[in-house]
Structure 1
């Protein structure tokens, strides 16, 4: 188990990226004091957790757009929930999937075939920029263009 001094502010901020996550839940999950989590939220200017009903998004597109934050060099950061190892996840109307699959479907207008991976040009961990994601079909097309197998 990690101690509270081993948990970085970046990790706390990643856990707080969604307004749907309370300071207390992050503090318990990471084993850090609530006050430290609150300080990170304030310093980073992150939205405050609100109890009660939240507006339900009308579509996958709206659900995704509320949770994607464009960052430098064309990358995009996921501000929603994540699986335990950090993989971005999206739950909408009782259906959960990786944010990669939802973003890919919106960007490319079709269901992804096989696993979603980052294009070789994208080196940012957990980037959710649609143009940086590839499914099996896009990987095969890229390899053909590059003259590989």
Structure 2
């Protein structure tokens, strides 16, 4: 176990410590590292300690999304909530689950997305509403770029 701990870089631990809702224990078990090492990385990142059962539930879907989006340089936005095993930002609220991309798109564009959501920027996993496009927006951009033809 000590060998596995030494092989896991702090950056990998940091990727999984996305918010105060993620426990040290869950990250330690997932990566095969000690709880203390996860706690040290948490402290270095300045993320509050996980407190089981003390989280105040969000009243609305918008509040749940807003609580997990952090603005970063260049007009981009970072997701601080959970991720699926592929690293895709996800949100689960009151037994409703979907990707953060779809949730943010809906809030920003005030309509449901059609088809897959793609990024219009080159930043991995950016969740800024203006940097997300669905099938309709991609078609509009192609049409505009071809002179409307």
Please give the TM-score of this superposition, normalised by the length of structure 1: 0.91
1:127 aligns with 2:112: no
1:77-98 superposed Cα distances (whole Å, 9 cap, x missing partner):
1110100010000001101000
CA apart distance, 1:144: 1.0
Q: Secondary structure at the match of 2:85?
A: coil
Question: Which ranges of structure 1 fall in alignment gaps of 5 or more residues?
Answer: none
1:65 is matched with 66
Question: Which ranges of structure 2 fall in alignment gaps of 5 or more residues?
Answer: none
- Structure 2: how far apart are the matches of 1:126 and 1:95? 21
1:74 aligns with 2:75: yes
Please give the TM-score of this superposition, normalised by the length of structure 2: 0.91
Q: Secondary structure at the match of 2:92?
A: strand
1:45-74 superposed Cα distances (whole Å, 9 cap, x missing partner):
012101114211111110011101111111
CA apart distance, 1:141: 0.7
Q: Secondary structure at the match of 1:86?
A: coil
2:17 is matched with 16
Does the 8 A contact of 1:14 with 1:79 survive in 2?
no
CA apart distance, 1:118: 0.5
Runs (4 or more) in structure 1 with deviation over 6 Å come to: none
1:107 is matched with 108
How many positions carry a matched residue from both structures? 146
- Structure 1: how far apart are the matches of 2:35 and 2:146? 54
Q: Secondary structure at the match of 2:5?
A: coil
| Residues 8/147 of structure 1: CA separation in 2 closer, same or farther (3 Å cut) | farther
Matches within 5 A, 1:24-43: 24-43=25-44
RMSD, aligned CA: 1.8
